[in-house]
Structure 1
Amino acid sequence: MQVNLKMLQGRFERGYALDKHSLYSLPAGYNAAGHIQWHTQRTEVGEALYQLKYRQQQRYVLPLALAVQSHILPLLPAFGLIVPMASSHVRGVQPVAAIAHALGHLVGKPVLALLSKAKGAALLKDLRTRAEKDAVLTDTLILNRLIHGEGRWDTLLLDDLYDSGASVDAACDALRGYEKIGDIFVATLTWR
């Protein structure tokens, strides 16, 4: 899979995104209901993510996991745990969780859903500024304390899209509140 890595900045030790999500989007006219239609050109990673998320094309799970394994993981220190970002929508198969589990299988690491979102949380895509997103994210993420035993785990947080960084930073803040979490690294599939 063709990628164009980007280093990410935020409240984590190190992070990368595989590629930009969309290259461009042009108006393509109106449909019968009068809604504008768009012609969008996505990167290979962006198209695979789009097909997985919105067309339920499960065949993209493994190629996306392999891309994270081969392009991002060599740039990160060792970690012991993979945490998928909490999803905003209820779907039959959660794309980020599916990719996290495939990645965990590939690299022999456990995957734990340590984060979930409170019911009724506003959608970040409807907000424009980082301040608005930060305000909504306060108390939106719920930390699930699922780790048993002694010690701390360096963790890979996996997400699908990095935009302003608000959700990744909020997730890192929530994870840092857990005494079982050590260093946090981030891998996202795309950036906006």
Structure 2
Amino acid sequence: MIKLESEKWIEGYAFSVHTLYSIYVGENEYGHPIYDTKRTQMGELVYQLKYKQNLSVLPQIISLLKSDSNFVDFIKKDFVILVPATRKDRNFQPVEVIADAIGKEFGISIIKDMIEAENHTEIKHVEKAKKIDILKSSYSYNDHPEIDRKSKIIIFDDLYSSGSTMNVVADLLHENGFINIYAFALTRTKNSD
């Protein structure tokens, strides 16, 4: 597992990097770039689930997580909360599907609606400072008064890039009295901050 550094959480990890390499090889007949891409095992599984909507890879994702004793120790927290989906137009939300499987396999409660997002434009290629402003204005906190503010909470996402999303979610949790915040992503980009 790869450490995700931030003063916003006690401890954070990505299971692995997403891609080993991606080399531009030309354009297709529509003028779109084509890449020769080699992903890690987890990176390929996340890609298949997220972008190809291939649910059959879910057991393999869980199997990889179960095989890593560091993950098995790390996941022993009270709750997992989800980073809100940026695209609502998918047939299913990959983060929710994976989190449900993690919750079932490892016996941890999943909270899907603690942080919600208004629809906003894709922010993948926006500079970090502007991205944070967009996220802050579009995310909202839904109170769960039954949850002790001292509970150990993992913020979960499928892909960690700049860290902006998880940091904004962590800020919302801190603002609402949570103190034991952790972070986990299945993969991270090679150029993560």
Cα deviation for residue 51 of structure 1 reads 0.2
Runs of 4+ with deviation above 6 angstroms: none
Q: Corresponding residue for 1:144? A: 142
For 1:92-103, list aligned pairs within 5 A.
92-103=91-102
Q: Could you tell me the percent identity over the aligned residues?
A: 26
Normalised to the residue count of structure 1, the TM-score between the two structures is 0.86
Q: In 2, Cα distance between the equivalents of 1:95 and 1:78?
A: 22
Asked if structure 1 preserves the Cα contact closer than 8 Å seen for 2:149 and 2:179, the reply is no
Q: Corresponding residue for 1:43? A: 40
Gaps (5+ residues) in structure 1? none
Q: In 1, Cα distance between the equivalents of 2:130 and 2:65?
A: 30
Q: In 1, Cα distance between the equivalents of 2:50 and 2:144?
A: 27
Return 30-39 or 92-101, whichever deviates more.
Answer: 30-39
Q: In 1, Cα distance between the equivalents of 2:129 and 2:108?
A: 35
What amino acid does structure 2 have at the position aligned with 1:25? S
Matched, 1:82 2:80: yes
What amino acid does structure 2 have at the position aligned with 1:137? L
Q: 1:7 and 1:149, CA in 2 relative to 1: closer, same or farther beyond 3 A? A: closer
Aligned residues: 185
Normalised to the residue count of structure 2, the TM-score between the two structures is 0.86
Root-mean-square deviation (CA, aligned residues, Å) is 2.0
Q: In 1, Cα distance between the equivalents of 2:48 and 2:170?
A: 28
Cα deviation for residue 58 of structure 1 reads 0.7
Q: In 2, Cα distance between the equivalents of 1:151 and 1:35?
A: 48
Q: Corresponding residue for 2:118? A: 118
Q: In 1, Cα distance between the equivalents of 2:187 and 2:101?
A: 18
Q: Corresponding residue for 2:106? A: 107
Gaps (5+ residues) in structure 2? none
Q: In 2, Cα distance between the equivalents of 1:191 and 1:125?
A: 14
SS of match in other structure, 1:111 = strand
Q: Corresponding residue for 2:64? A: 67
Q: In 2, Cα distance between the equivalents of 1:151 and 1:116?
A: 19
